[in-house]
Amino acid sequence: MAEAAVKLAHVEICLTREAAGVSKANREEIARTVEHALRTQLDMVHPETKVSLSCLTLAPDVANCIRDIVVDCEESCPCWNAQFVTHVFALHEEGSYDETTEDDPTSTVFTHWELPAQQFHGLWESLEYEAGIKPHLLEFASTSLLFSSRQVDHNLISWNHVVLLHGPPGTGKTSLCQAMAQKLSVRLSSTFARAELLEVNSHSLFSKWFSESGKLVSKLFSYIHELAEDEETLVCILIDEVESLAAARSASMNGSEPSDSIRVVNSLLTQLDRLKSRKNVIVLTTSNITEAIDVAFVDRADIRQYIGLPVESVRRSILRSCIVELQRAGVVAQDELSAEAESALDDCARATHGLSGRGLRKLPFQAHARFIRSTNPASLVGFLRAIHDAARAEAASSVAASAATSTAPVSAA
C-alpha cells in the first residue's frame, strides 16, 4: 500500500508585544516547541485555522511569548503527515505615514506601512472567496519572487512582478492585496528581514500644473528604488483603481486631456519595466472597471484574477463569520447552531444573491438597527431572520433607486 503524500502546512506564530525583541535563537526554540506540540497534541490540521493556545500544553516561558498561532494547508491532513514550515514574527504597531505632494500638502501620493502590520493582522483569514483563489494568488506572487532570487533569465522566461485583481466594487480587491502583502512578509521572512507596503494614490500622480505630473512619478519611483536597494527588504507596491490611469491615457489620445497625462502613464509603465530587474519588489494592482484597464497594464500582469460577487456558499461563510463575531461580542446569544438556525442561515445566503462582500458585512448592522433595537443579546435564529429581512429591505431599496434613476429626466445639453 502506497504511503500518503506528505502535506505542506505553514505554521504562523505571532509574538506578543513584550516578546517582539526576542533573539533569533529564542524564536527558533519557540518554533520547535510549537511544532512538537502540534504534532503530539493535535490529530488534524485544517486550512486557515487559528489554533487556540488552550488546546496546546506549552511551557509557560514559551506560551507567554505567543499572541496567536495560525496553521494553513491546502487541505486537512493528520498532523503526523504534515511537513510544518514555521514562521515566527512580531507585528509593527506604529501605523502608517503619508507622503504628500509639494504643491498640495493635502494630496497623498502614497501611504507607507511597515509589515507585518498590526492593522492587517488576521485580514487574510477573514476574507472569504471561492476555494483556490487566495492560495493561487499567493503561489504566483511567491513564484515571481523565487524566479528573481534564482536569477532566471528574463530573456528566456517572461514575468513582470505584477498582479492585477479586477471585478466589481466591494469584493475586497484592495483588502486582498493588503492581506497578500502581509502574508508574503510573514511567509518570506527567512528571505527578507524587513517588508514595506506602499499604497499609491494613482489620482495624485496627475498634477494640476503642466509637466509637474512626471516629476511626481519620478519622485515616487526614486523612493521605491531607494527602498529596493536593500535586498533584504521586500517592497510591495499597491496601485488601487489602476483604471484611473487608463482613463487618463485614453482621454489624452483622444485629445480631451493635456499630453502631460499620457506622458505620466508612459513614464509609469516604463518605471514598472525597470522594476523587473529587482529581486525584492512585487506590484499589486486593482481595477473596478474591467473594460477600462489599459492593455499595456494587462500585458504586464503575470496574474490577472477576476474577483467577482460571492457565490451562495461564500455568502453563507461570510454571514457565519459575522454571527460568530457578534456572539463573541455579546450582541447575539451563544446559542448552538441548531437545525432551525442552519436553515435560517441557508435562507439568508439565498436571499443575499447579488450583494458584494462589503454589502454582506453591513447587513448584521442594518439588521440590528432595523429589527432588533435592543441592548439585550438577540437569539441566534431571531437575528438570522432579522438579517434575512434586512436583505429583503436592501434589495427593495436598490430596486427603487434603480427605478428612480431610469425615470429621471435627462437635461438638455
- Which pLDDT tens digit goes with each residue over 95-122? 999 887 666 677 788 899 999 999 999 9
How would residue 413 be classed by pLDDT, with cut points 50, 70 and 90? Answer: very low
Does the pLDDT value for residue 373 go beyond 90? no
Give the separation between CA 335 and CA 327, rounded to whole angstroms.
9
How would residue 48 be classed by pLDDT, with cut points 50, 70 and 90? Answer: very high
Give the separation between CA 286 and CA 237, rounded to whole angstroms.
11
Q: Is residue 180 within 8 Å of residue 138, measured between CB atoms?
A: yes
What is the three-class DSSP state of 154?
Answer: coil
Q: Which residues contact 188 (CB under 8 A, 6 or more apart)?
A: 142, 145, 195, 234
Q: Which residues contact 49 (CB under 8 A, 6 or more apart)?
A: 70, 71, 72
**Per-residue exposure over 85-104, b if at least 16 CB sit within 10 Å of its own CB, e if not:** ebbbbbbbeeeeeebebeee
- Which pLDDT tens digit goes with each residue over 125-175? 999 999 899 999 999 999 998 998 899 998 899 899 999 999 999 999 999
- Whole-number pLDDT of residue 177: 97
Give the separation between CA 31 and CA 84, rounded to whole angstroms.
10
Rounded (10°) angle between helices 133-149 and 173-187 = 50
- In the predicted model, what is the mean pLDDT of the chain? 89
Q: How many CB atoms lie within 10 A of CB 269?
A: 17
Give the separation between CA 187 and CA 213, rounded to whole angstroms.
36
Average pLDDT over residues 233-248: 85
Q: Is residue 386 within 8 Å of residue 372, measured between CB atoms?
A: yes
Distances from the Cα of 114 to the Cαs of 117, 226, 236, 288, 297, in angstroms? Answer: 6, 15, 10, 27, 27
How would residue 260 be classed by pLDDT, with cut points 50, 70 and 90? Answer: low
- Whole-number pLDDT of residue 396: 84
Average pLDDT over residues 168-195: 96
Q: Which domains does the chain have, with CATH numbers?
A: 7-89 (3.10.330), 97-306 (3.40.50.300), 312-400 (1.10.8)
The single-letter DSSP state of residue 263 is H
Sign of CA dihedral 341, 371, 168, 72: negative
- Whole-number pLDDT of residue 306: 94
How would residue 202 be classed by pLDDT, with cut points 50, 70 and 90? Answer: confident
Q: Which amino acid is at 306?
A: Y
Average pLDDT over residues 381-406: 84
- Whole-number pLDDT of residue 93: 94
